[in-house]
Amino acid sequence: MPAGLAISDFYYILPELVITGGALLLLVADVLLPVARAAAAAGAGADGLTERHRRRTQILSWITLGVIGATVLSLAPFADTHVEVAGGLIAVDRFALFFKVVFLAAAALTVLMSTRYLEIEGASPGEYYFLVLCATLGMMVMAGGIDLVTIFIGLETMAVSFYILAGFIKPSQRSNEAAVTYFLLGAFSLGILLYGMSLMYGLSGTTSLRTMAVAFAGQPRDPRLVLAVILVVAGIGFKIGAVPFHMWAPDVYEGAPTPITAYLSVGSKAASFAMLLRIFLEGLPATSADWRLLFEVLSIVTMTVGNVAALTQTNLKRMLAYSSIAHAGYVLMGVVAGTPRGVSAMLIYLLIYAFMQLGAFAVIVMMRRRDVVGDELKDYSGLSARNPLAAFAMLLFMLSLGGIPPTAGFMGKFWLFGAAIDAGYVWLAVIGVLNSAISLYYYVRVVVFMYLKTEAIGSEPAFSAPLGVVVGVTLAATIVLGVYPRLLFEAAEASARTLGVAGTAIALK
Amino acid sequence: MTHYLSLILFTPLVGACLLLVTPREKEDAIRWIANIFAGAGFAISIPLWYWFNPQNADFQLVERAPWIPSIGAEYFLGVDGLSTLLILLTTLIGFIAVLSSWTAITERVKEYYTFLLVLQTGMLGAFMSLDFLLFFLFWEVMLVPMYFLIGIWGSANRLYSAIKFFLYTLVGSVIMLLGILALYFYAHSVTGVYSFDVTAFQQLNLPVNLQWWIFLAFFLGFAVKVPMFPFHTWLPDAHTDAPTAGSVILAAVMLKMGTYGFLRFSLPILPDGTRAFVPLMAVLSIVGIVYGALVALAQKDWKRLVAYSSVSHMAMIMLGMFALNPVGITGSIVQQLNHGISTGALFLLVGVVYERRHTREIAEYGGLSKIMPVYAAIFLIMTMSSIGLPALNGFIGELLILQGVFVASRMWALFAGSGVVLGAAYMLYLYQRTMFGKVENPKNLHLLDISHREFATFAPLLVLAVWIGLYPAPFLRRLDGSVQRIVARVSPQYSPTYAALGCGGAPTPQMIAANGAARFLQSVPCGPDGRPLVAAESAAR
């Protein structure tokens, strides 16, 4: 159907163009910067080399932040736009805008926490930041895509960037293993997803989601379409880390560089949820009975397995991996509800989750020293005495992830449960709240180590200005959105309303 | 004074923020700041006693501002008689708890006082909120500081006790949250307005089976907090391992959250559900009364004994409440205050000797009345108050509860009465073992009697115990409006007889015959409907 691009289309995809241009600019700068590349490769070598490597990392991270800033600015003209561009390949609406803001904020925070981490690891910053920007570009395309092809291109752009980033610490065996695991399982799941998408295309004769919705409307139940739904659910389930497609998550989270783990668990997850909402609520409202049931089961299994598995973890990154699986389960409740309230609750939750998760990872990055990885629970023993600020921040992030007011996590969870009850899924909500009570056991365990154990085993956290900014911003967001979430609720509601053609596709019940 | 309640609410929080920026080495400065803010918090709340108008049955000193307009949540505070008294109890006990910690806490002083003050704001907020979401927010805010108070400054088994307290309360309250949401969405389907306004919920007539489910959800949240049998098992552990101030706050104020929740939410919002659950609640309460008392009798640990006595007393309060008549409910509220005063004081008393001897084994003590006469005298008064000796506060509460329970069921009254007898038994047995006899343990020979600061913590409680015991009318007068609002919803059979009696005059003999509380009134207040606020029970029968 797309019959070529008009000039105006380039105006509407301005943010994507800006970030692409910025990423290329970064590559050029990486080459042109007058510092010996050997410095990066040699890692912790002579002092002069590390110093130059440090400067180089800083300059490149400033450029990356500039690119992200410019992209945010280029979003401004589209604050109230609601159009389909490029012949129905991409939608520019509030829904996409909301997600783009989440991605860019997460990317900026990731870049800020990476600076020090890259210095310690001695990894090459240019390619790293380039890949972060590429992943962000992929996510933005996924959120805006209303055509299977666009969505898939966005997904691939994001996924390939993450495959490389997961294995970015070349000397580390854990990092290499993470990359291989992620790549193999990721490729496999993409295959499944693609198979489901091709079935959808074959049955409807179109790749455009909105046309597809019309084609499927009122049709009798087609087993081939059910199969397509199952395949697509499985493919997306992998991306959001839903059980039983979650096997990769703990290994990848533990092995990948910590800032990448953070970005993966926030950005990739949010983008996959955006894709999920686009595909199911815009493209397949006709089969909602089927996929709602699937997601209901998936949601229950995901949060339960995620939480129970997290209970016994002693590695913080691994624990957060299982916790992020559980959080995917909570967010799926919004999909099951399928109402505008469910969608807005998901948006609220994903944004809040981004802040609290990134904040928690920022504290973990802070604990990283040249000789200590700092992600074992015992590294946090007595942290409140050694660094009260870091401990306090971690305390609030843990409480927020557990959903204790007055932190933001409570507001997000509360509204997700509300959406489920409103849509009549009371039992799902009951299971959800019981799960969130279980989850507190392991979140509180971190607190126990930080506050209640007095023997100081772990290292002194290393405080740096960019990390301070990350912790400060995420902490402020966690508190402010918990106490006064008014603006977020309003924005999410407005954004959820624009999903689908004038809200028709979303009116399921 | 439209922001008066906010002022009371946030004074402790301001203190906590100030503590955060105080250097941790300056321990005395920290103690002073905490004491000043807790004291100021109490002083600021005193005018509430006068400004609250008992003649007016509506919520007073109301503050309303939009909070999350898109879902209808508001910053909505207001008080009636019930919450007025509980707020005053909270500010007083909060101050006493802070004052009592001066020498008891020597480690991590800054964090300790910060948590105490945050906890104080949480408790006050829960009593003031008339927006259900806001209430839930404050309700949960209490959890974390209390967890730390037990977990950091507690005794031997503190980690286990702290997490047990945390998870028990949490599971109950998240289920309650679902009940709140169900209520919220149902209210919207009836009124077309999204709102968490409790006063509006109290006017809804929900379908009976929905009430049943929501009652069950609320029940789990509140019953854990009370705690009712069989949800009480966290309490002995938490109480025993908490530092003195923690136990005092836990017993005197936080347990009241549960009973307050029933009175403010379950009874008036879900009258049919309440009536349906009366048999269950009565059985659980009776089991709690007898079981708590018997277990208390067998305790060897001083603090654990007081903790189990709390289980028994709180069950008595629940039984009085679920008599669902004006006397019983009045009695249950009065007894909540009494329990706060006497059990709070009893925990303080344990704290005094624990600070000196670092043991709570009853067998370690004996004959203390010779060494610490003032201490023994205070302990005696508080023991009597807890037992319910006439002329002290406990008597008034127990009398009203027994009266109400008797009207509801004589069988219940029998069990409730046995609780009173057993209560006397375990308390006097405790007193005998610790205070009387010879001083057999040489370590006790040189114990110091209580200091002036310690006496200051007991003084207000002693005054209140005697005041309520001798002249409870000012308290009962403040409660009438609240009690009648609850009764009008949950036991409307007490209502139609109002019209026959005038209001504003002295209580008639029928009123006194029907409602023992009436005899303490100089004039019978008028309800919102212009009828007298004292129900004539005998006329209804």
Q: Please give the pLDDT value at position A372.
A: 67
Set of chain A residues whose Cβ sits within 8 Å of the Cβ of B185: 418, 421-422
Asked if the bond preceding B227 is cis, omega within 30° of 0, the reply is: yes
Residues B483, B506 share a domain = no
Query: What are A's interface residues with B at a Cβ cutoff of 8 A?
Result: 384, 388, 399, 404-406, 410, 414-415, 417-418, 421-422, 426, 429-430, 433-434, 436-437, 440-441, 444, 448, 451-452, 484-486, 489-490, 493
Residue B147 contacts A where some CB pair is shorter than 8 Å: yes
Beta bridge partner(s), residue B301: B361
In degrees and rounded to multiples of 5, residue B347 shows phi and psi of -65, -40
Q: Which residue has the higher pLDDT, A460 or B35?
A: B35
So what's the pLDDT on residue A500? Answer: 66
Is B511 a domain residue? yes
Residues B449 and B436 in one domain: yes
Domain count for chain B: 2
Spell B333-370 as b/e; 16+ CB within 10 A means b: bbbbbbbbbbbbbbbbbbbbbbebeebbebebbbbbbe
Between B525 and B463, where is the model more confident? B463
pLDDT in tens, B287-343: 999 999 999 999 999 999 999 999 999 999 999 999 988 889 999 999 999 999 999
Answer for the pair B235, B304: CB distance below 8 angstroms, yes or no: no
Statement to judge: residues B364 and B453 lie in one domain? yes
Q: Are residues B356 and B409 in the same domain?
A: yes
Interface test with B, best of A343, A347, A438, A451 (most B CBs within 10 A): A451
On chain A, the residues whose CB falls within 8 A of the CB of B71 are: 415, 418, 489
Cα–Cα distance measured from residue B307 to residue A145, given in angstroms and rounded to the nearest whole number:
61
- In whole angstroms, what is the distance from residue A431 CA to residue B132 CA? 22
Beta carbons of B167 and A490 less than 8 Å apart: no
CA atoms of A440 and A436, how far apart (whole Å): 6
Q: Tell me whether residue B132 is in a domain.
A: no
In a domain, B381, yes or no: yes
CA distance A71 to A76: 9
- State CA B45 to chain mean position distance: 17
The residue assigned the tokens 């069990």 is: B415
**B455 and B524 share a domain?**
no
Q: What are phi and psi of B233, to 5 degrees?
A: -65, -20
Contact A476, A408 (CB under 8 A): no
* B399 occurs within a structural domain: yes
Bridge partners, residue A388, by sequence: none
Q: What's the CA gap between A65 and A107, in Å, rounded?
A: 9
Q: Mean pLDDT of residues grouped by 10 in chain A (509 residues)?
A: 72 92 92 62 54 83 94 90 85 92 95 86 86 95 93 94 90 87 92 94 91 87 91 93 89 90 93 94 87 93 94 90 94 91 94 94 83 77 85 93 91 92 91 92 91 72 84 94 91 86 44
- Whether B166 contacts chain A with CB within 8 A: yes
Residues of B in contact with A429 (CB under 8 A): 178, 181
Structure confidence at residue B505 as a pLDDT band (50, 70, 90): low
Axis crossing angle, helix B452-470 with helix B393-408, rounded to the nearest 10: 40
Q: What is the pLDDT of residue B338?
A: 94
Q: A450 to chain B: which residues are within 8 Å by CB?
A: none
Q: pLDDT at position B539, please?
A: 40
Query: Structure tokens of B74?
Result: 């508001």
CA of A9 vs chain B CAs: smallest distance (Å):
34
Asked if B425 and B329 sit in the same domain, the reply is yes
**Could you write out the three-class secondary structure of A170-232?**
CCCHHHHHHHHHHHHHHHHHHHHHHHHHHHHHHHHCCCEHHHHHHHHCCCCCCHHHHHHHHHH
Task: Report if residue B269 sits inside a domain.
Answer: no
**Domain housing B502:** 493-540
| Closest Cβ opposite residue A414 in set B167, B170, B177 | B177
Q: How far apart are CA A275 and CA B412, in angstroms?
A: 61
B268 CA to centre of own chain: 19
Q: What is the mean pLDDT of residues B250-274?
A: 93
Ordered alpha helix ranges (H), B154-207: 158-191, 198-201
Question: How many A/B residue pairs have CB atoms within 8 Å?
Answer: 82
Tell which of B457, B474, B490 closes a domain. Answer: B490
Clarify whether residues B297 and B413 are in a common domain.
yes
CA distance A250 to chain B (A): 26
**What is the pLDDT, as a whole number, of residue B54?**
87
> Does the beta carbon of B17 lie under 8 angstroms from any beta carbon of chain A?
no
Same domain, B387 and B508: no
Q: Is residue B221 part of a domain?
A: no
Residue B527 has pLDDT above 70, yes or no: no
Whether residue B498 sits in one domain with residue B486: no
User: Is residue B36 domain-resident?
Assistant: no
Stretch B499-509: mean pLDDT, rounded?
A: 58
Interface test with A, best of B170, B180, B218, B220 (most A CBs within 10 A): B170
Residues of chain B with pLDDT > 70: what percent? Answer: 92
Cβ–Cβ of B185/A418 closer than 8 Å? yes
The first and second tokens of residue A322, run together, are 């299982």
Inspect the interface and report whether the beta carbons of A404 and B148 lie closer than 8 Å.
Answer: no
Looking at the fold, whether B303 and B422 belong to one and the same domain comes out as: yes
DSSP letter, residue B390: T
C-alpha B359/C-alpha B354 separation (Å) is 6
Let me know: does B343 contact B244? Beta carbons within 8 Å.
no
Chain A positions touching B148 (Cβ under 8 A) are 451
Partner-chain contact B174 A452, CB within 8 Å: no
Residues of chain B neighbouring A384 (CB-CB closer than 8 A): 111
Task: Look at the block and give the residue holding tokens 């450029």.
Answer: A63
Distances (CA, A) of B77 to A91, B137, B222, B264: 45, 13, 21, 13
pLDDT band (50, 70, 90) for residue B498: very low
Report CA A395 to chain centroid distance, whole Å: 22
Chain B hits for A451, Cβ within 8 Å: 148, 151-152
- Residue A44 confidence (pLDDT): 47
Cβ contact (<8 Å) for B174 and A436?
yes
Least Cα separation, residue A391 to chain B (angstroms): 12
Residue of chain B minimizing CA distance to A427: B178
Residues of A in contact with B140 (CB under 8 A): 404-405, 410
- Model confidence pLDDT, tens digit, residues B347-391: 999 999 998 888 888 988 888 888 899 999 999 999 999 998 888
Residue B479 within a domain: yes
Q: What is the pLDDT of residues B104-160, one digit of tens each?
A: 888 889 999 999 999 999 999 999 999 999 999 999 999 999 999 999 898 888 889
- If asked whether residues B485 and B509 sit together in one domain, one would say no
Tell whether B419 and B400 lie within a shared domain: yes
Q: How far apart are CA A166 and CA A172, in angstroms?
A: 11
The DSSP letter of residue B501 is S
